[in-house]
Amino acid sequence: MKNIRLHITQQKVKIALGLTAVAMMGCEPPSSEIVALNDTIAVVDTPASENGADPNKTICDPFANNPNRVGANLDLGIVGQITYLTDDMPRFSTAQEYSDYGVKLDATLFLNDIFVKTRSFDLGFVTQSGQVLKNHKGEELYEYFGIQMDTELRLGPDDQVGQYQLAILSDDGALLDVKTGSEFETIVNNDGTHSTRMGCATKPIRMDLNSSIPTHIKYYQGPRYHIAMTVLWRPWPENDPNFQPNDPLCGKSGNNYFFDYTKVPSVPTAKFDELTARGWKVLTQENYALPRSITSNPCKEPDPVRTFITTTSPASIRTNQTAFSATFRSNYQVVTYQCSLDGATRVPCTSPVSYTGLGEGSHDLRVWATDLDGRTDELGASYAWTIDLSAPSAINGNAVSTTNSVTITWTTSEPSTTKLLWGPTTATSNVVAEDFIYKTQHSVTLNNLSPDTAYYYRFAGRDSVGNSFTSNRLGFLTKP
């Protein structure tokens, strides 16, 4: 399934909070623990050599990083169980039969959402490491399986309080049951073997800011070659007599009807765009909470604490300003900060932080955030800049004159602008305007001068941070 990303290894792992995998074919449950794998967390069995259990059984779907969710919660997600039919079993055609009679794969699934667009599915469950999930006989699992999922529906940050109509796009069958009273009730029945079809609820559920509605979702994939499973909802207005709960596409089906599976990855068709135009929305990670019996998702550790320097003043990494300030933030909302300037001992600080009277040379600011659980971003954020208080120096000045012109050249010790002050008297009151081009070789030509006449000049300029200079007064004599 496209959005079910799997980790399968032979490393030891521990499944937190007692969420051990169900033993398959009479085997004892493996002992396990959680380990980090390539910057994510995976739940994996112990090696077969230690307890006789098949190591390639336990599946974990870590949450994808969501930059829009600050401080990812561990209570989000969907927990699931895979069942499958053996060769000697009837080919059932309802999701409930797969749940009741299918062989349970020794695995506990943790999903982040349910949005699988119609696609070819003769390759099976492909893991992130490239392995294909197999049944107890070592056969690839790509048809005649079911997934039973448990979650609690709730509003996301962009959803409004009110009534909602649920729907499922699935190939093959799917059921969605919600618990609004003491019992679960099927409100979306899209069961049976069929191409991608839209099944719609005929009654709404009411959602407010505190709603967390226990929900069962049963799905099965019968014979190959296509798979789809997407959960949607849209607002169901309470006082709109013109609202039609029977959407024109409810009950419509076809493998290329809602998604073009010939594209890789599949892309929505115009029919799917019609749904979104009428207010249908695919449920996101924020709409799924783990069942209340599971206090946290063992597949996902809290996002690491990170620190970001967002603005600096001055903004340039070279400056002649001896005062400096910076603002910073973290990916967590409630944190404390420590700062260090130029390698000094860390001290508590707040954003913005300011410094004055800094000396010439290189400087470095480092900031570390710490969350309420005491987890610190040990890498921190850093910003380096240089204070330059030294003006360029001018060397190798030279003037080559004719009877009515002169070309004056000079070199500066660092790139600077070109400016010339000159005149027939020592006042040098005439100005060749600054060009604001930074270079070390400078040249200015003056025309329409008088023959056999003494002139005076000073060359000037400034470097890129504004340090300016003016040379001593020099002179030349035009030719007769």
Residues 139 and 260 in one domain: yes
CATH code where residue 179 lies: 2.60.120.380
Residue 174 forms part of a structural domain: yes
Q: Name the pLDDT band for 159 (thresholds 50, 70, 90).
A: very high
- Of 330, 364, 387, the residue that ends a domain is 387
Per-residue pLDDT band at 124 (split at 50, 70, 90)? low
Q: Do 324 and 357 fall within a single domain?
A: yes
- Residue 407 shares a structural domain with residue 323: no
pLDDT at residue number 452: 95
Which string of DSSP letters, residue by residue, matches 370-388? EETT--B-SS-EEEEEEE-
Note whether 372 and 420 are same-domain residues. Answer: no
Window from 202-206, 371-375, 384-388, 462-466 with minimum mean pLDDT? 371-375
pLDDT, mean over the chain? 80
Asked if 381 and 466 sit in the same domain, the reply is no
pLDDT in tens, 276-323: 999 999 999 889 988 887 755 555 556 789 999 999 999 999 999 999
Same domain flag for 55 and 77: yes
Q: What is the rounded distance in angstroms from the CA atom of residue 341 to the CA atom of residue 382?
A: 10
Tell whether 369 and 258 lie within a shared domain.
no
Band (136; pLDDT cuts 50, 70, 90)? low
Q: What is the domain range of residue 374?
A: 307-387
Whether residue 237 sits in one domain with residue 219? yes
pLDDT (average), residues 18-36 = 25
| Secondary structure (3-state) at 209 | coil
- Report the share of the chain in percent with pLDDT over 70: 79
Does residue 132 lie in a domain region? yes
Domain annotation covers residue 302: no
Separation CA 71–CA 66 (nearest Å): 9
Higher pLDDT, 24 or 462: 462
Q: Is the pLDDT of residue 370 over 80?
A: yes
Burial 311-328 (b: 16+ CB within 10 A, else e): ebeeeeeebbbeebebeb
What per-residue confidence (pLDDT) applies to 203?
92
Instruction: Please spell the DSSP secondary structure of 319-376, one letter per residue.
Output: ES-S-EEEEEEESSSSEEEEEEETTPPPEEE-SSEEE-SPPSEEEEEEEEEEETT--B
How many helices (H) and strands (E) are present in the chain, helices listed first? 3, 34
Output helix, strand, coil percentages for the chain, rounded to the nearest 5: 5, 40, 55
Contacts of 154 (CB under 8 A, 6+ apart): 207, 211, 212, 213, 286, 287, 288, 289
Kindly state whether residues 238 and 197 are assigned to the same domain: yes
Q: So what's the pLDDT on residue 74?
A: 56
Q: pLDDT band at 99, cuts 50/70/90?
A: very high
Q: What is the CATH number of the domain that holds 314?
A: 2.60.40.10
470 found inside a domain? yes
* Chosen domain end from 367, 387, 407: 387
Let me know if residue 295 belongs to a domain.
no
Average pLDDT for 128-138: 56
Q: What is the pLDDT of residues 336-348, one digit of tens each?
A: 999 999 999 999 9
Q: Which residues contact 18 (CB under 8 A, 6 or more apart)?
A: none
Res 312: pLDDT = 96
In the predicted model, what is the mean pLDDT of residues 365-390? 92
Residue 318: inside a domain:
yes
* φ/ψ (deg, to 5) at 390: -100, 130
pLDDT bin (cut points 50, 70, 90) of residue 31 is very low
Decide if pLDDT at 45 tops 90.
no
Structural domain total, the chain: 3
On whether both 315 and 453 belong to a single domain, the answer is no
Regarding whether 352 and 272 lie in a shared domain, the answer is no
**Domain's final residue, options 333, 367, 387:** 387
> Does 252 map to a domain?
yes
In a domain, residue 110? The reply is yes
Which has more pLDDT, 267 or 12?
Answer: 267
Question: Among 81, 13, 88, which Cα is nearest to 51's?
Answer: 13
Of 125 and 361, which is predicted with more confidence? 361
Number of Cβ within 10 Å of residue 110's Cβ equals 23
pLDDT per residue over 377-389, tens digit each?
989 999 999 999 9
- Assess whether pLDDT exceeds 60 at residue 51: no
pTM above 0.85, yes or no: no
Residue 122 confidence (pLDDT) above 50: yes
By percentage, how much of the chain surpasses pLDDT 90? Answer: 57
Q: Quick one: tokens of 63?
A: 């949450």
pLDDT at 238 over 60: yes
- pLDDT(463) > 90: yes
